[in-house]
Amino acid sequence: MTLSELTTEAPLSDGYDAATRDDPAFQSAFRHGFTTIDDLQMHYVVGGAGPTAILLLHGFPETWYTWLPIMPDLLPGHTVIAVDLPGLGDSTGTLPSYDKVTLAGYVHRLLDLLGFGSGVQVVSHDAGSGIAFALVTQWRDQFAGWLMMDFPVVGGSLRYDEVRTLSYHFAFHEQEPLFEQLVAGRERLYLDYFYRVLTPGGSLPMTPEGVDEYVRAYSRPGVLHNGSRYYQAWPQDEIDNRLAMAQPLTLPVHVLAEAPLLETFLRAVRDAAPEATGAALDTGHWMVHEAPDVVLAAIKEQFGY
């Protein structure tokens, strides 16, 4: 089956192209794709025909749309694949578990179906980095390098009990069903607050159109529920990560983090990848929105564009 054939599956999500259907630049370079793996229809955006795949994994509460400002500049020599994480965005269906090894399995199988069984370059932010860690440790021959942004890899020197104190939202998102009961129907109110509270000065880090797209996606049935389950799985992720760290990673790993967090986050990654490097950014948490040119330059340097 060709990549073109894989991306023509009928979507289960209405409105998946709300942010791109009137964008001729997007239409000329990228297309939406849907591929069902077990009981989950994965949504992703793909463009380019280069021999090397670059995989983009967003965080919570974001979608593939996070990467749109920098995706065109990643096309030379690459096939660019921006995935909606399992259960989030416009990916639709049921999941047997929310531990990141299980979720990474869907992304791994999607890449295989798209024809990229080796040499994949990974860029990840926030929760996408939890899945990326599982990918590069469980399927080591599939990946050639990893750039991760603003995420604490637990399991070694860093424990989840320490991470929970960094921000209110770790504990809040664990509260089920209370989290959904409080936020359902108030998605815009909550997301607007969430984006601002993790941005220096409390400004909105993305355009109003960006907020509209995220509100649309996180108002879909089940998406907030799935997002909260991502947080509830952290204790299992810590166990799984600790086991994976027994075999050090040898692929190049680079960490971008907010300046106050870089030392902690880099040390945590080095428990798995002793040669990992890092750099501090003068931003808040939403790095691609706040400083796309800086992020793009870091990606190009990491992967030798």
Q: What is the pLDDT of residue 4?
A: 66
CA-based nearest residue to 86, from 112, 67, 105: 105
pTM of the predicted protein model: 0.98
pLDDT computed for residue 5 by the predictor = 64
Please tell me the distance from the alpha carbon of residue 233 to that of residue 7, in angstroms, as a whole number. 30
Give the per-residue pLDDT at 6. 64
- Sign of the dihedral through C-alpha 182, 186, 191, 193: negative
Contacts of 131 (CB under 8 A, 6+ apart): 57, 85, 100, 103, 104, 107, 124
> Could you say which DSSP state residue 275 is in?
T
The three-state secondary structure class of 88 is coil
Which pLDDT tens digits describe the chain residue by residue (305 residues)? Answer: 566 666 679 999 999 999 999 999 999 999 999 999 999 999 999 999 999 999 999 999 999 999 999 999 999 999 999 999 999 999 999 999 999 999 999 999 999 999 999 999 999 999 999 999 999 999 999 999 999 999 999 999 999 999 999 999 999 999 989 999 999 999 999 999 999 999 999 999 999 999 999 999 999 999 999 999 999 999 999 999 999 999 999 999 999 999 999 999 999 999 999 999 999 999 999 999 999 999 999 999 999 99
How many angstroms separate the Cα of 17 from the Cα of each of 23, 27, 43, 90, 167? 10, 10, 11, 10, 32
> What is the C-alpha to C-alpha distance for residues 110 and 108, in angstroms, rounded to an integer?
5
Strand partners, 104: none
How far is residue 263's CA from residue 282's CA, in Å, rounded to a whole number? 14
Q: Which of 9, 24, 13, 74 is nearest to 47 (CA)?
A: 74
The answer to whether residues 232 and 257 touch, using CB atoms and an 8 Å cutoff, is no
Sign of CA dihedral 181, 183, 287, 267: negative
The pLDDT value recorded for residue 7 is 66
**Confidence (pLDDT) at 15:** 95
The sign of the dihedral angle between the CA atoms of 57, 63, 68, 70 is negative
